[in-house]
Amino acid sequence: MPLARKLGAFVALSAVELAVLDALHKRRRTFVAGRDLVHQGQSDQAAYILASGWACSYKILRDGERQIVDFQIPGDFLGLRSVLLHTADHSIEPITDIEVCEVHASDLLGAFTRTPRLATAVLWAASRDEAMVVEHLVGIGRRHAAERMAHFLLELGSRLSLVGLATKAGYACPLTQYLLADALGLSAVHVNRVLRQLRETGLLTFRDGYVTYDDYDRLLDFAGFDPVYLDHTGPLLR
Amino acid sequence: MPLARKLGAFVALSAVELAVLDALHKRRRTFVAGRDLVHQGQSDQAAYILASGWACSYKILRDGERQIVDFQIPGDFLGLRSVLLHTADHSIEPITDIEVCEVHASDLLGAFTRTPRLATAVLWAASRDEAMVVEHLVGIGRRHAAERMAHFLLELGSRLSLVGLATKAGYACPLTQYLLADALGLSAVHVNRVLRQLRETGLLTFRDGYVTYDDYDRLLDFAGFDPVYLDHTGPLLR
């Protein structure tokens, strides 16, 4: 269960806590790529735990422009904000076919009542999500395009490795250049140019749905990537 | 207590819940303007509940550039992420002299154990903070400067009104043009020009530490501001 693996980075989960987490995975559903499962502006949304596949959360502006806020990978919540706020402030689209478990606000409250440590763990996960959005804000506000791309692909790799989906060599990545463009505030043409630059300078190759680190240490340095905000150093709560 | 007032927008707080919240306000401290109380990169930080005054959270990049992530007003947590993640991913600076209450991770866990509904309420507050960072990301990524500024000042007004610090006419605001510049990804000169534009077009006046809405409805429309992500429509949990 990727969520247990992820939360395990924050809290050493007891058997009871694992059972409560497991019970949150009852209502399994599948969604096909490209069909939104949460709609910006809708009320009374459920949240979902992503079991397999990739999704993205995004906002559409008045002029029809789209800003992708983040991508979600197995173990991530989809629309956790939407189940707590009255109205979804964003949409969520599966990038691949996905399997999810539907979670209602009452399920969360029930789980927190049984194991308050789990509440802290979910708050940790939400804080980590926020830390990532902050990094994307800093990226768009202050990093030049190649550095922004390198930072973003390193962050994805680090997140994927926490749930066993990446190695030090690289990872499978279904993102198109259009998706990367909408996330990084670049044009698709610019994304293509930046990826070529990263490849030609021997840092990273993104080809045929796979990201390969060509020189991991130099890439870290180039991107100024310090994964400390992803908080993978082991459980704080024992 | 501004935090109770804010959380009351999400959950109708019982007497017990109010007492637990109140107990989180034991360790009162004051900090003077300009002296960081949380440092990016430090471990074992406490979190704080802001009782009075204004603060800002920011990140410094390698080249020394600063990106302000958000401003905090009474009722907001300072460094909630920093108490859950091993290492603070950002710094916090008081903009005015501030009064805060220090909160440790163990205090939060204790409070959640006594009243799990409070855990949901704090998760709501964290989700709302994240929704604001998302709006700032969208602003920097997709909104032109005047629209970005108008949206930002409307958001601040809406947040302040929830804790009784703004009216439909406007609000007292200690932010300098330098702080606005670092938050909005603009230069101070550009901030000055944009504020003049908003004033000359009869939308908003920011002068002598006070933001006055000159035409609230037209300003909402100009900024494309829909406060639904701030979730002020009344408690979801009764």
Residues A211-230: pLDDT tens digits?
999 999 999 999 999 888 88
- Spatial distance between the Cα atoms of A84 and A44, rounded to a whole number of angstroms: 9
Cβ contacts of B62 on chain A, cutoff 8 Å: 224
For B219, the domain range is: 142-230
Chain segment B105-141, per-residue pLDDT in tens: 889 888 988 888 888 888 888 888 889 999 999 998 8
User: Residue B148 sits in a domain of what CATH number?
Assistant: 1.10.10.10
Residue B175 inside a domain? The answer is yes
Size of interface A-B (CB pairs under 8 A): 163
Cβ contacts of B84 on chain A, cutoff 8 Å: 10, 120, 123-124, 127, 231, 236
pLDDT (average), residues B96-100: 97
Structurally, chain B folds into a number of domains equal to: 2
Angle at which helix A145-162 crosses helix A216-223, to 10 degrees, equals 120
Residue A125 inside a domain? The answer is no
Cβ contacts of B131 on chain A, cutoff 8 Å: 81, 85, 89
Nearest chain B residue to A42 by CA distance is B228
User: Residue A90 sits in a domain of what CATH number?
Assistant: 2.60.120.10
B93, B124, B155 - which closes a domain: B124
Statement to judge: residues B98 and B175 lie in one domain: no
* Contact at CB, B141 and A67, closer than 8 angstroms: yes
Residue A238 inside a domain? The answer is no
Residue B108 inside a domain? The answer is yes
Q: Are A17 and A118 in contact (CB under 8 A)?
A: yes
pLDDT (average), residues B48-58: 96
Chain segment A111-130, per-residue pLDDT in tens: 988 888 888 888 888 888 88
* Strand boundaries in B76-121, DSSP class E: 77-78, 91-94, 98-103
- Spatial distance between the Cα atoms of A81 and B3, rounded to a whole number of angstroms: 19
Chain segment B164-210, per-residue pLDDT in tens: 999 999 999 999 999 999 999 999 999 999 999 999 999 999 999 99
The residue type found at A119 is A
Residue A34 inside a domain? The answer is yes
Residue B238 inside a domain? The answer is no
Statement to judge: residues B76 and B188 lie in one domain: no
- Spatial distance between the Cα atoms of A181 and B97, rounded to a whole number of angstroms: 42
Residue B81 inside a domain? The answer is yes
Residue A16 inside a domain? The answer is yes
Statement to judge: residues B50 and B94 lie in one domain: yes
Residue with tokens 């430090």: B42
Which of B108, B123, B228 lies closest to A84 in CB terms? B123
Cβ contacts of B137 on chain A, cutoff 8 Å: 67, 69, 133, 136-137, 140
* Contact at CB, A142 and B185, closer than 8 angstroms: yes
Statement to judge: residues B148 and B120 lie in one domain: no
Cα torsion through A81, A82, A83, A85, rounded to 10: 80
Which of B59, B65, B142 lies closest to A67 in CB terms? B142
